Amino acid sequence: MNSPARALTSLRITSIMLIHCLAVMAGCSGISRGDSLFADSARQAERDRMVDEQIVSSGVKDSVVLTAMRRVPRHKFVPARYSTIAYHDVPLPISHGQTISQPSLVALMTEKLALQGAKKVLEIGTGSGYQAAVLAEIVPHVFTIEIIEPLMTEATRTLTELGYRNIHTRVGDGYQGWPEEAPFDAIIVTAAIDHVPQPLLDQLAVGGRLILPIGRYYQTLELYRRTAEGYERKIITLVRFVPLVREQQQE
């Protein structure tokens, strides 16, 4: 055998051995449900591409947020039939007629909450649990409320399987917030409403921020910051969210 052919053969043998070792490692590390180290690293590459090509270019700069977006496996939060497009920058249907927001919007809303030093964050509208996971990568305690019980059951299963231990859940109408745990350093509402719920403003710590979509069909994404004197309000952009549903339609 001439030497280039020998080099090629030895390269092939090395690659086969490497593949074999990785496959054995995947088996040993207990990765289940057909996943493997190969699949995980392919998904990581997809996430990195999503961050580099879609989220950064959408204007999000906060490195803490970008790191969280690189870490959370969005494909675990979407129905299996959408798994292949889990890292496209699009909202996707989850069950019960609800949607998981597009990644660049999740990143934008998270960035606007300015979470440096935040300890407790409240989310209204758990849905798939994806936004809660992104928050849980950044702050010590996430509280999240979902009105549709089966969605919360599913989200809790996903979050537990992924090892999130700092997400506290409640089934009910998030309009009332979570008074026993207030004040919150930040509150995020991921369903649309035509006015700002007073209980959420009340449960914000001084210096804390509330972000939410205000409006009916299309909404303006609004950011409130509680100051010692009152609240500052800022309009961020136009968005489209599913509506916030009230348990009893009295306000």
Rule CB under 6 A: which residues touch ligand SAH?
Answer: 98-101, 124-125, 127-128, 130-131, 145-148, 151, 173-175, 190-191, 242, 244-246
User: What's the min distance (Å) between Cβ of 24 and ligand SAH?
Assistant: 36
Q: Which two tokens stand for residue 158?
A: 């996903």
Is 101 considered catalytic here?
yes
DSSP state of 55: I
Q: Which two tokens stand for residue 10?
A: 């030895």
CA distances from 173 to 21, 59, 126 (A): 50, 33, 11
Distance between CA 245 and CA 251 in Å, rounded? Answer: 12
Among residues 32, 41, 83, 101, the one annotated as catalytic is 101
Residue with Cβ nearer ligand SAH (73 or 174): 174
User: What's the min distance (Å) between Cβ of 193 and ligand SAH?
Assistant: 8
User: What's the min distance (Å) between Cβ of 13 and ligand SAH?
Assistant: 46
Distance between CA 70 and CA 165 in Å, rounded? Answer: 19
User: What's the min distance (Å) between Cβ of 72 and ligand SAH?
Assistant: 10
Residue with Cβ nearer ligand SAH (98 or 120): 98
| Structural element, H or E, at residue 43 | helix 37-49
Distance between CA 217 and CA 178 in Å, rounded? Answer: 27
Give the residue numbers marked as catalytic. Answer: 101
